[in-house]
Structure 1
Amino acid sequence: MTGPQLEAHGVNVEFITRGGQVARALDGVDLRVGAGEIVALVGESGSGKTTVARTMLGLERPASGRIVFDGEPLSYSTRALRRLRRRVQMVLQDPAGALNPRQTVYESVAEGLRLHGIVAKDPERRTEAELVAAAMSSAGLRPPEALFLRYPHELSGGQRQRVLIAGALALGPELLVADEPVSSLDASIRGEILALLLRLREELGLGVLVVTHDLGLAWNIADRIAVMYLGRIVEAGPTEEVLQAPQHPYTQALLSVVPEMEELRPVVLTGEIPDPTRIPGGCRFHPRCPALQDGTAAAEGVDDRCREQPLEILPDDTVGHHVACHLARLRNSTGPRTSPESRSLA
């Protein structure tokens, strides 16, 4: 993997509720994404995925831990964040809400160019219109000039998503963070946008962190997958290994409802993700774990550990397959490796 990497090391993010309680939105997250690779961050709503994306872009400041970009800890000065956002761009989830309905397509794509003064710094001395047209073409909006004066309400959902991507590409970033980039699109358009992200990786060497609840999407696009639950990554590894041999019961449950997985019996999880102000002891998934509920964990002799013994933070290894689960650790001869900085859940 060459080029810059965006990394999270032991990141904790906390919010204070109206009642004065501390909600741990992220609780020891290790994750990295580099130029030229696609990493999928997967989990239910409320698992902390979007908070990870916002924190890695400097939009949220961690209570502890650090974000590192291109080998340097992230600085939160205005100038440093402007430099970061020139090189790392975010593609938001809802194009209808993200695009200003009063701005034309041209103005939406050109906005970032103007904010960062890209035209004045362009070594090829291209005009603003040329840079906008090039970004739109890269995003699959062709011919771009025919769309310059259109407004968001005149575009299809897929076209609006491409306008958001074009606005990010106009700055010439090295990494994209895409938050649920196809969740609001029809199935046929979803495939087109995913193919576009793969093409951008091949042609421009872009790295992409894709935030999604859909393991099927991750299977089609990602090189690596990190599965998140209640503020912490519980399973991570190369896509083929994680999805062909999922070890965490939570990953197995998410995978069982992917339409393509006809041979798997759907696993219906009971209850909701717990309140982040009251994270369960032991394995944080244990109140909803099918292996505990059906007696499997008890038969293997790990049920007490599941309820009481904390699990280590998974390392941000770009090669290995790791899982934070007492039952999986028992079944694996070696168990998951942990980083030197691994910490137990308080």
Structure 2
Amino acid sequence: MTTTTDLLSAQGLQVTFPGRHGAEPARAVDGVDLDIRPGEIVALVGESGCGKTTLARSLLGLVPPTSGQITFGGRPLDYGSRALKAYRKRVQLVLQDPSGSLNPRHTVYDAVAEGLRIHRYGGDERAAVTDALSRAGLRPPERFFLRYPHELSGGQRQRVVIAGALVLEPELIVADEPVASLDASVRGEILALLLRLRDELGLSALVVTHDLGLAWNIADRVAVMYLGRIVETGDVEQILTAPRHPYTQALLSVLPEAEGDPVVLTGEPPDPSKVPSGCRFHVRCQVLASGEAERAGVADACRTKDLPVLAGGGETQVACHWANATVAARA
């Protein structure tokens, strides 16, 4: 289903925002390599404030990187207005809250047709809107043309948002918490829809979420992000059944189906303008706090030695002194 040629690739991506009142700049994205192949669904997972939404916005061309490069289809992203407009036809955003992303004064037809009008579509607009609504699971589509968002259920509104993205026939969808605002009974339907679109259209997707359970149900590959960097990445089954990074282990421990006691992380993620030395997770790390890192002989490295940026490909990788030392000891 996937190929080895990357559709979207980020290399050494950094996004820095100026600090207020002379404070240090905030490193929202602080060195990220990430590849997405055709027909692949990648889940970008992490707590609120870890930088995943900023990374997604940068990949969409909405936030220019401070340094690094984004390529799409093998070509560097051009930030000229005409080039960005053409790029955003091929890469579409699906937002978390369909109520907030739909104009309450626009009918479903106008909401879906808006992208076609912005890009001056020269074909049959009605046929394109009909096809997009049908693919999004709103059938018969004509029944929804003259409805307004307030007349739809939450799941139907999210399907309209997805139809608005599909109408431009994109190659990649960036979905930011696509089911977070929906009832549990509807979430499975929307996830099944995304999987069906991948299978039928070869569509790629980057799904931004804080929910590892969602990643398990939809993703081929997962990238776990913490304080501006990807700290563990690889095949979804490998990462979620045998997580190596303490942060990934903590996120998984609070899932309802997890075995054992949940890991309660102390404090909030550090300020991105004051990234700790060494491993950026060490100030909250349960492995360091328990003395396991000391017994493995890496406690000082955890506190002082920075870790390299993980490669963006599909291989399983972890940015953790303790995890790497444990593997080395078993070899």
Establish whether TM, by shorter chain, passes 0.5. yes
Aligned to 2:183: 186
- Say which SS state the counterpart of residue 50 (structure 1) adopts: helix
- Say which SS state the counterpart of residue 332 (structure 1) adopts: helix
- Kept in 2, the 8 Å contact 1:38–1:221? The answer is yes
Residue from 7, 10, 22 that aligns with 2:9: 7
- Kept in 1, the 8 Å contact 2:6–2:35? The answer is no
Aligned to 1:18: 20
- Stretch moving more, 43-52 or 290-299: 290-299
In structure 2, C-alpha distance between the alignment counterparts of 1:157 and 1:17, rounded to whole Å: 38
2:263 is the alignment partner of 1:267:
yes
Q: Map 1:112-261 onto structure 2 (within 5 A).
A: 112-118=115-121, 120=122, 122=123, 127-261=124-258
- Residue identity opposite 2:19 in structure 1: T
- Say which SS state the counterpart of residue 287 (structure 1) adopts: coil
- Kept in 2, the 8 Å contact 1:236–1:242? The answer is yes
In structure 2, C-alpha distance between the alignment counterparts of 1:327 and 1:109, rounded to whole Å: 50
2:38 is the alignment partner of 1:64:
no
- Residue 20 of structure 1: CA displacement? 3.0
Equivalent residues, number: 327
- Say which SS state the counterpart of residue 56 (structure 2) adopts: helix
Q: Which runs of 5+ in 2 are unaligned?
A: none
- Residue 83 of structure 1: CA displacement? 1.1
2:88 is the alignment partner of 1:80:
no
Summarize deviations over 1:96-138 as a string: whole Å, max 9, x none: 11111111111100000111122x1x4xxxx211110100000
In structure 2, C-alpha distance between the alignment counterparts of 1:6 and 1:334, rounded to whole Å: 36
2:318 is the alignment partner of 1:323:
yes
- Residue 334 of structure 1: CA displacement? 9.1
- Kept in 2, the 8 Å contact 1:34–1:175? The answer is no
Summarize deviations over 1:128-167 as a string: whole Å, max 9, x none: 1111010000000111111111111111110111010000
In structure 2, C-alpha distance between the alignment counterparts of 1:27 and 1:259, rounded to whole Å: 32
2:297 is the alignment partner of 1:301:
yes
In structure 2, C-alpha distance between the alignment counterparts of 1:265 and 1:141, rounded to whole Å: 42
- Residue 4 of structure 1: CA displacement? 6.0
Aligned to 1:344: none
- Residue 188 of structure 1: CA displacement? 1.1
Residue from 40, 43, 46 that aligns with 1:43: 46
In structure 2, C-alpha distance between the alignment counterparts of 1:232 and 1:80, rounded to whole Å: 28
- Stretch moving more, 144-153 or 199-208: 144-153
Aligned to 2:328: 333
- Residue 35 of structure 1: CA displacement? 1.7
RMSD of aligned alpha carbons: 1.2
- Residue 332 of structure 1: CA displacement? 1.1
- Residue identity opposite 1:64 in structure 2: S
Aligned to 2:306: 310
Residue from 90, 93, 96 that aligns with 1:93: 96
- Residue identity opposite 2:293 in structure 1: A
- Kept in 2, the 8 Å contact 1:5–1:33? The answer is yes
- Residue identity opposite 1:90 in structure 2: L
In the TM superposition, structure 1's runs of 4+ consecutive aligned residues that sit over 4 Å from their partners are none
- Residue 37 of structure 1: CA displacement? 0.7
Aligned to 1:107: 110
- Residue 34 of structure 1: CA displacement? 2.0
In structure 2, C-alpha distance between the alignment counterparts of 1:251 and 1:74, rounded to whole Å: 31
Give percent identity, aligned residues only: 65
- Residue identity opposite 2:39 in structure 1: G
- Residue identity opposite 2:289 in structure 1: Q
In structure 2, C-alpha distance between the alignment counterparts of 1:326 and 1:200, rounded to whole Å: 39
- Residue identity opposite 2:324 in structure 1: R
